[in-house]
Amino acid sequence: MKDALVAKIGKREAVVGVVGLGYVGLPLLLEFAKGGFRCVGFDIDPAKPAALVAGRSYIRHIASESVASAFVGADPKRATATTDFSRVRECDAVLICVPTPLTHHREPDLTFIENTARSIAPHMRAGQLVILESTTYPGTTEEVMVPILEAGSGLRAGEGFLAAFSPEREDPNNRDFRTATIPKVVGGMTPDSLDAAVALYGSVICKTVPVSSCRAAEATKLMENIFRSVNIALVNELKLVFGRMGVDIWEVVDAARTKPFGFMPFYPGPGLGGHCIPIDPFYLTWKAKEYGIATRFIELAGEINSAMPDHVIQQAIVALSDRGRAMRGARVLLVGLAYKKNVDDTRESPSLALWRKLLERGARVDYYDPFCPVVPRTREYPELADIRSRTWEEAISGGYDAALVSTAHDSVDHDAIARSCGLTVDTRHACKPGPNVVPA
């Protein structure tokens, strides 16, 4: 089974299916298409397959030209995209790249993985390789995904099909690294599963990093993101301490980073965003309880980072009060909606939390973000869906009592916004110091 699949991969005759065509799945599919594989993309949102087969990208940092080169034309190996999961039977490998959010009780929500497994299982055939890429706790591949696949397909993992886990390491719009140049950690349920997954990824990605099991691969991604969460929490806490002392945390970090060893710079902000860092630590915290272990360090970091939006709002309230203005009734411009600069990705963005908190305190809020012209629908913030960004002219019109810089895109002139407002609360060190600029 493994040898036949590896041979097809080597000849570029294997068909690669990718489930979930978002910020992780679409770049991955494009790399396999560029590498000479025929690809089939699957998504439950019909708008995405429709856009792709028409050659249009719906992700800002992915050019439509890249999409068109993969999906449009007469090449018999051209990619296609669909909502029809029966086409899974065409695929030799199926890569699952679906969200893994948290419930309202901060527990893992594996609904997308479970539903995907149920959707593909009836259409599986012997000899396929199924790889989960979604970030999750150790044990998910073997305890959650595989049993659903076995029950729905009648096949046994390791005998009828191969199963593996390889965590996504996507960093949207990172100009130094893209999917093909980021080493790929791979863990398999069996040695044959590992060999097949390594052969598949090794055909389009610069380096594969085999590990002993799916659990080790699942744990690797959690460790990477928990490392960042803990260090961001540390620098956020230092920002509060140094701020009381009249010391600029940004100056301190820039000075400390000149040390050529033993230090890695992290920067403070208004809270954590993106699909990984605000969520993944809680996956391990939840699973650790099964083993009777309290993850105190991880939970403390989560508490610190989760409290940052409240700190920012309090800073804004005090700054407005110092200028004789109450937050209630104030016109506030929220600058930046994406979770980080230079992307259109709003998943778990602290800007949305700040917006709701401003509204709860009676402010009248607009936002400006050239990367995010319309607020997408989310289950956490349904009241903000479909609101449109102000234009640049409206943003600098001078009609706002305060601006709150939450995300600092490089293309935005934040100093111009600061000049147009009586107060700018700057969480990103984006504005030049001035009497009307308050760091937060």
Q: Which residues are catalytic?
A: 276
Structure tokens belonging to residue 166: 């390889």
Structure tokens belonging to residue 362: 């009676």
Edge-to-edge strands, sheet with 80-82: 80-82, 38-42, 15-19, 93-96, 129-132, 162-165, 184-188, 208-210
* End-to-end alpha carbon distance in the chain: 58
Is residue 201 within 8 A of residue 177, CB to CB? The reply is no
Token match 């090794």: residue? 202
Is residue 286 within 8 A of residue 137, CB to CB? The reply is yes
Distance of alpha carbon 256 from alpha carbon 265, whole angstroms: 8
Distance of alpha carbon 375 from alpha carbon 384, whole angstroms: 7
Indicate if the alpha-carbon torsion angle 107, 108, 112, 114 is positive or negative: negative
Distance of alpha carbon 376 from alpha carbon 399, whole angstroms: 26
Token match 């719009």: residue? 173
- The three-point CA angle 159-194-81 to 5° equals 85
Distance of alpha carbon 113 from alpha carbon 137, whole angstroms: 12
Beta carbons within 10 angstroms of residue 147's beta carbon: 12
Is residue 335 within 8 A of residue 367, CB to CB? The reply is yes
Phi-psi region of 362 (alpha: psi -120 to 50; beta: other; left: phi over 0): left
Instruction: Could you list the beta-strand ranges (E) of 193-327.
Output: 208-210
Query: Smallest Cα–Cα separation from 27: which of 137, 190, 169?
Result: 169
